Amino acid sequence: MAMKITTREPESKATPKALLATVTGNAWLRALRLHFVLPSIIPAILGSLIAGAQGYPLHFFHFALVVIGVTLNHLGLNMVDDVLDFRHAVDLKTGDEKNFFTGGSGVLTEGLIKDTQMLRLAGFFFILTAIIGIYLTYACGWPVLALGLFGMACSVFYTAPPIRFGYRGFGEAALLVNFGPVIVLGAYFVQTGTFGIQPFVVSLVPGFMMWSMVIINEIPDYEADRRGGKLNLVARFGRQAGVALYAAGLAAAYLILVMATLGGFLSPFGLLALASLPFAAKTFVVMRHHLDDPVAMAPANLAMIKVHSVTGAGLIIACLIELSRL
């Protein structure tokens, strides 16, 4: 009778140094909060493609610099916001009690990264953004500098003193302007050397989408923000008011989208952006049942990210179709 011999794979023993490297590496990825970066990338692409669809020759090197610049600026914003909210005892939740999409990355409260380390990396991102901005100002003109300075100011002073937009109830409006008209018009100007009514009108769509994304992310943080003195619009007026402000932002974005299409600012293909409506509907379903439960609100926060992304993708596809017809 043959004996069955089983072999056992040796257990891999990770060294403490290797484990630390893995944990730290994952922590830095969390700290970047890449899932929130598309609201910078989409308007940068959109502004450039509107210029191309109007017949302007696209300068791909400048296009790449704009996309890289706004991405680095957004990463810096994420980190500065994380650090200052942590220092003001706003973002203290960890583990199962934390909504993944709100309340910061959580790496500071868990002690995985030091706040000084995060600030140094944020500073590095801002320096790279400034270098790109200086080059584009030299190559394209002083309006790039003006828009770039406004964008960086919104990023740094969203939570940094003395302005602290996000703590005074002005952060939502500042981000609407920054992640809508400022980025779209800036990208458009880099390609054309001028401004135009069409990119401005279209820019309001991602702008109001950003407004709604900020508002819905403030709802789960309502208690923590009030406790830490971060008096944004939801902290000031309550969760129900937050739902109304959120709905108003979405309504404005979709209304502008439809009117821009009917008014000729967008081709009929711009209506592809309405494919995001089912995700928008999901956010209201979740909020209806879980408005007071920060963790259970997470599917609504994720759905809003999809709303912004799908809407932006629809607008980009519409511009690409127009560009292909030239």
Q: Report whether 190 contacts 59 (CB < 8 A).
A: yes
Is the separation of the CB atoms in 269 and 321 below 8 Å? Answer: yes
**303 with 279: CB under 8 angstroms?**
yes
Residue 95 structure tokens: 């583990």
What pLDDT does residue 159 have? 80
Percent of the chain with pLDDT over 90: 65
Q: What is the DSSP string of 220-260?
A: TTHHHHHHTT---HHHHH-HHHHHHHHHHHHHHHHHHHHHH
Residue 76 has pLDDT above 60, yes or no: yes
**pLDDT value of residue 25:** 58
Q: Stretch 292-306: mean pLDDT, rounded?
A: 93
Length of the chain: 326
Q: What is the pLDDT of residues 243-264, one digit of tens each?
A: 999 999 999 999 999 999 999 9
Distance CA 262, CA 154 (A): 33
Cβ neighbourhood burial of 4 (10 Å; 0-12, 13-18, 19+) = exposed
For residue 189, which of 66, 16, 322 has the smallest C-alpha distance? 66
Residue in this structure with the two tokens 């320096």, named with its chain if needed: 127
pLDDT value at 22 more than 70: no
| CA 226 and chain centroid, separation | 23
| Residue-range domain boundaries for the chain | 34-324
Angle between the N-to-C axes of helices 60-87 and 16-32, in degrees from 0 to 180, rounded to the nearest 10 = 110
Residue 306 predicted with pLDDT over 60: yes
pLDDT for the residue 4: 47
- State the pTM of this model: 0.88
254 neighbors 310 (Cβ within 8 angstroms): no
Distance CA 281, CA 100 (A): 21
117-169 confidence digits (pLDDT tens): 999 999 999 999 999 999 999 999 999 999 999 888 887 888 888 888 888 88
How high is the pLDDT of residue 14?
A: 41
